[in-house]
Structure 1
Amino acid sequence: MSASMQNTSVIFVWYLFKTICVIYNQSYSHWKRLTKKEIDSHIIDALNQNINYYDSLKMGIPGSHLDQREFAADSKVLDGSTFLKTLINNPNHIGVHTDTDLSEPYFAGTQKLEAQVIKIISDDILKAQPDTVDGYVSSGGTEGNIQAIWVYRNLYNETFKLNMDYSSIAILCSEDAHYSMDKAANLLNIKQCKVAVEKDTRVINQEHLKKQLTLLKHQGIDKLILVVNMMTTMYGSVDSLDDYMDIIAQFASMTVKVHVDGAYGGFFLPFTHPDQPLTFEDERIDSFTLDAHKMLQAPYGTGIFVIRKGLLKYSLTDSAQYVAGMDCTLVGSRSGANAISIYKILMNYGPYDWAERMLALAQRTLRLKNQLEQWNVKMIHFDGSNIIAIHRDFVTTDLVLKYGLVPDNHNNPEWLKIVVMDHVKGDKIIQFLQDFKAQLPV
């Protein structure tokens, strides 16, 4: 190992020690590590509080347990798997369960566990004050982002009496923002404005932001829905809210609501950078999206949306009169099993083991980065992330195909990324480095 690599390793060990010390000194109100027996016991108790369609006389609900011919409730496959038992029982978590008045009563048991998951995420991870946040387990980041923008569009419509004329509203985000912003703009009939970023750092270009805001102002747009990235899926880049707000403040007539897209970084950044500023402690931020099917490794179709109390009323659908508490979510009916999968994972690790797991991925990524730096490879890597984007000039097509490197653009790629997930162990990284070195020009 070279002297520079040894020095970098020493620095990272010190950073790792310091970060773990910060995390271990944090207080977690709701998130405690439980034994598997305790977790399963809580879930079985919750299922027992839910409706049992076969024993109950209730006949007004358009639902049942999963089809018994295909999903037998007494199958041996279910032994030891409370997630599969929940899936078979098929609880409907329609609505929002952080407020019990908005919940269907027939699935109260598992809904309480979903509410506990939301408290862990909002209070313990995103540092909200107790009982100040509502939220629900969504289908993923796309739904969560659209939900937030829907809420804020409707808030503006009601507050400013726009009479459904949304021409004065725009989504503001960086060019690296997830494509769900494009979907939201299309679905909700509002303008989208993308801000250019510096190509090698992915930091927003503030001069371009000024030009975009000036253009919006001339178009009569004075209500912004600002979406800030907490680790983009391509680069792991993190936006600075201040970089946006310092420029927006120069346009005095602009009103802003802020949503954080933490679909990728929500379960990662708060543990590799416990002092990171994108939390509910910043009163300018009103909502977050997280994905549980990325870093948390829950089943696909599992995300989280959290928002300050008092705001979900703007997406309440009054016509859903047959739903207890009606419904303010985008998707409506959804499986309670997804919430149980998050509960099981979070409680199995607890906050400290989870932090160490994320830090281990960050360390593994840094070792890969250090070696690439020795070969003067052009790349993008954000401190504490598990993503490395390598410039196209440094990789061959064969290497891209063999290791499934993902491009920023399939038509004309400039960057190709590696994501160090749990399955990307040291042996895979060593093999990749050997193949990478072999394809470098002599």
Structure 2
Amino acid sequence: MSILIRNVRPCGETAQDLLIEGDRIAQIAPAGSIETADEIIDGAGLIALPGLVDLHVHLREPGFESSETVLTGSRAAARGGFTTVFAMPNTQPVQDTAGVVEAVWALGREAGYADVHPIGAVTVGQQGEQLAELASMANSRARVRVFSDDGKCVFDPLIMRRALEYVKAFDGVVAQHAQDPKLTEGAQMNEGALSAELGLGGWPGAAESSIIARDALLAEQVGSRVHVCHLSTRASVDVVRFAKARGIQITAEVTPHHLLLTEEKVRGFDARYKVNPPLRTEDDVEALRDALADGTIDIVGTDHAPHPNDSKQTEWDFASMGMVGLESALRIVHATMVNTGRLDWRGVARVMSETPARIGQATDAGQPLEAGQLANVVLYDAETSSVFTEADLAGKSVNSPYLGLTLPGRVHTTIYRGVPTVRDGEVVDADTLRAARRSQLASEGER
């Protein structure tokens, strides 16, 4: 099976022809120089990017299938241009053993829309008291290299230090949910004048930056890698910048919603905007955009967090925290980073594909668009715009903060390991996808 993408612009640059044979990119040549293939896609006006990689998603399975499953979550990923996702461990049972992470990994392979890499819990049951089976998860078929208690901070400094020491043996990374629980008891939104005006418990930025500072110093002492999840404040940016200047092995991510939305959205008490960490100030948003542009923040991670309607359509105090984000992430980065001149499309490939793959050690992901590389490709129409609606969502839940907003761009095609999972903006159904994969394997066998 061969696919020819004609006249497409790799990373927004000069138009080329891109030929895929089997699961590999076979050739990239000047536009119009490759004549034929089994399937031809007109790439005129489209940008080709390496398949996107998300280091921070919640697929909810096992245990919370009413919100999302590995299948529906990876369908949502494909719709957004992602070909690799890392699944957080706050499932039931928690992903804290080799058996559970292997089960999630196998569900991802069965679904066939993206590579699904389970993230292992740092502590047993995410309770923060005893290290989980880190080595057995690392040595499992899932080959776990990222560990996190996301949703809960690894608050005990001794446990955190031991985790950093342990994962160093196999070049793993601890991804920290930086939230001091003592400083955020009863917190409902960003702490400041608006929280006082609305009568909601304030969430101080220092609850985040203080944990980042502590963990950076622990990583420096141990000589290990630490990753900061969903960084949200200017002060946190300053801490990460300081740590990098010292040579500490620290990386950080920002979510699309923290690049776009501010605490002002809370005025309407619409629980779609209730998230952890909370939406911050306009000054924080500007600092986050600048830090992503200059490399202080390494990557964009969606923190895709689906919830059933009844857990969002309720009083603010009782609503669940989190937003879905896989389907909209590239469009938000387009709006906040490309349209503001902070990143070009090669920069987008760096922060949404190449670097997250490197941090998570996903060796089959984040590869440049070059001959011989695995054919994970997203074709993006940057010249269009449309109102974001529930029809744009491909997962189970609809708790998106962008519904009703006009967003730039559209994912036209997603190709995962040489097989299209999205065609002209529509997700390929599971039966068609399986048939295409069988055809691919058969043609490879003939060769």
Q: Could you say which TM-score interval applies, normalised by the shorter chain?
A: under 0.3
Structure of larger gyration radius: 1
Q: TM-score, normalised by structure 1?
A: 0.26
| TM-score (normalizing by structure 2) | 0.26
Q: Which has the higher helix share?
A: 1
Q: Which has the higher strand share?
A: 2
